[in-house]
Amino acid sequence: MPPTDSSLNITQTKFLLGTAEREMLTGHHGLVVWMTGLSGAGKSSIAVGLDHHLNRQRHLSYILDGDNLRSGLCMDLSFSEQDRSENIRRAGEVAKLMAEAGLIVICALISPFAMDRKKVRESCDKSAVPFMEVFINAPLEVCEQRDPKKLYQRARAGSIPGFTGIDSPYEAPVNPEVELRTDLHSLDDCIRHLAANITKRTALEG
C-alpha cells in the first residue's frame, strides 16, 4: 500500500500535555539550534562545548550530530544528493520532537543546501517550535588547513566525490540568527556568545 493511500488509516493522537507543561519542568523553552557550516568549521566542537555550558546553567540540551546520526537513525542513507536531503529532513523532524519535549536541541550538520535548511525551519514554524540558524563560518582555506578528519586531503585526492566545498557547493545562510567566525574568535568566545543568545531566547516569561 503506498503512503498516499495509507494516510487514510492514520489518526493523529492528541496529547493532554502541551509544550508549556513540559517546559515547567525544564525551566526553559525548547529550541532547535541549527548549526550549519563547512566540514572543519567547528560545528561539532562548538556543539559539545555548548552542550556542556548549558548543562552547567541547568539547561537541558542534547546534541544531534550529523556524523553520529549517520551510524544510527540515518545509517541507511548514502551521500547522494537525495539521501543528503533525507538526512537533513530526518534530523529536523527529530530535533522538532525533542524541542517539543522541552529540550534545547543542538544540531550540528554541514547541511550545505539552503532549501533543505529552509524546509526544517518551515516544519518547525508549522509546529510552533522555535528555530534558530547558526552559521559556523570559517573560510574554506582555513577549514582545509585544519582538516581535523583528513577529509579534505582525501577529497582533493578524489577519493570522496561530492565533498562539500571541493566538488559540491556550500550555500551559506543569507540571514542566520547568529554567525560565528571561528577563524577570528576563540572556541570559548564562540560558545559563550551563542549560549548567551540561546538562554535569552529560551527564558520563560515572568
Q: Which residues bind its own copies (CB under 8 A)?
A: 1-3, 6-7, 9-17, 21-22, 25-26, 44, 47-49, 51-52, 55, 58-60, 62-65, 67-68, 70-73, 75-80, 86, 90, 93-94, 96-98, 100-103, 108, 149, 151, 154, 160-162
> Measured on CA atoms in the order 61, 58, 135, 181, is the torsion positive or negative?
negative
Cβ-based nearer residue to its own copies, 103 or 180: 103
CB of 168 to its own copies, least distance (A): 11
Of the listed 78, 80, 111, 127, which one is catalytic?
111
**Per DSSP, what are the bridge partners of residue 31?**
104
Q: Are the CB atoms for 31 and 201 separated by under 8 Å? A: yes
- Residue of 49, 51, 45, 46 lying closest to 63 (CA atoms): 51
CB of 10 to its own copies, least distance (A): 5
Q: Are the CB atoms for 120 and 36 separated by under 8 Å? A: no
Cβ-based nearer residue to its own copies, 67 or 122: 67
Active site residue 123: no
CB of 181 to its own copies, least distance (A): 22
**Per DSSP, what are the bridge partners of residue 63?**
106
Cβ-based nearer residue to its own copies, 27 or 184: 27
CB of 148 to its own copies, least distance (A): 8
Cβ-based nearer residue to its own copies, 73 or 172: 73
Give the span between the Cα atoms of 121 and 113, in whole angstroms.
13
Q: Cell numbers at residue 108, please?
A: 550540528
- Residue of 54, 47, 101, 50 lying closest to 69 (CA atoms): 47
- Residue of 186, 166, 181, 198 lying closest to 39 (CA atoms): 166
Which residues are the active-site residues?
111
